[in-house]
Structure 1
């Protein structure tokens, strides 16, 4: 699957989206999420999201998901050293809701971009709308000038 935002192309395998959805099902009807891992092309015009890491330390409810990431520092370092992959963003579900971001989601993404240890100006956000038995919809967003903008 390929999506576009201005002059930046986003490439994600359907199998990765399916894997993310499947990992979310066991947490339904609560929100669940994780990290998007990938790399940019040499010209920085294409972002390849190649894998996901699910959160292991988190708090969730039907309308909120908060994850911890500090415990993954060594795993992120290994991915970069061994595969040239790095953290590019976040994903989480909206059970029985829309695949659209909330003001809380926007604030979280702004905080991530401002975090000195993250070193990413334009993190990606994937929101999946799930029901008890299906992936209803999903959207990718990119943080640009403290706004989340839709990949189409």
Structure 2
């Protein structure tokens, strides 16, 4: 399986993610349907810092809460996972992913507020977090939206590139 590339319109910023990781997200969404779910994404940046390389996508921590139109990601076990990713592979928190069942692959107002909080929260060490939003259902096609949020509250939409 290959890598999927998402780029901004100027091709200045991008995300590389293995197709298997995207399929893992879709599988977790299918298991959660019709409720929202989500997790975090972990990886590295390219040497020139213009591409995020997604290496790990987690499921929802056990202390997460969800409903048909909302998701609150828990934290149980995430710090240990992040510490291990850093210690063993030099990888770190890149951002979040979640599922909008029957929705659109665009951030809600709540998503935007939360991502802006993350970009400004020094505890995350992530001034430009990524947000991946999966949409679809077990009987419909799946789609993934990709976004970067900057510390100055700018939202950058990324588009999947054709192979």
When normalised by structure 1's length, the TM-score is: 0.93
Alignment match of 2:97 (pick from 91, 107, 122): 91
SS of 1:81 mapped into structure 2: helix
Q: Which residue of 2 aligns with 1:44?
A: 49
Return the match for 2:74 from 49, 63, 68: 68
1:150 aligns with 2:154: no
Shift of 1:109: 0.4
Bigger strand fraction = 1
Q: Distance in 2 between matches of 1:147 and 1:99?
A: 18
Q: Distance in 2 between matches of 1:86 and 1:135?
A: 31
Structure 1 residue runs of 4 or more that deviate by more than 2 Å after TM superposition: 132-136
> Cα deviation per residue 1:29-82 (whole Å; 9 max; x = unaligned)?
000000011100121122101111112221111110001225421210110110
- RMSD (CA atoms): 1.3
Extract unaligned runs of 5+ from structure 2: none
Q: Distance in 2 between matches of 1:12 and 1:114?
A: 25
Aligned to 1:130: 136
Gaps of 5+ in 1: none
Aligned residues between the structures? 152
User: TM-score when scaled to structure 2?
Assistant: 0.87
Aligned residue in 2 for 1:27: 32
CA distance in 2, matches of 1:133, 1:16: 20
Asked if 1 retains the 8 angstrom alpha-carbon contact of 2:69 and 2:100, the reply is yes
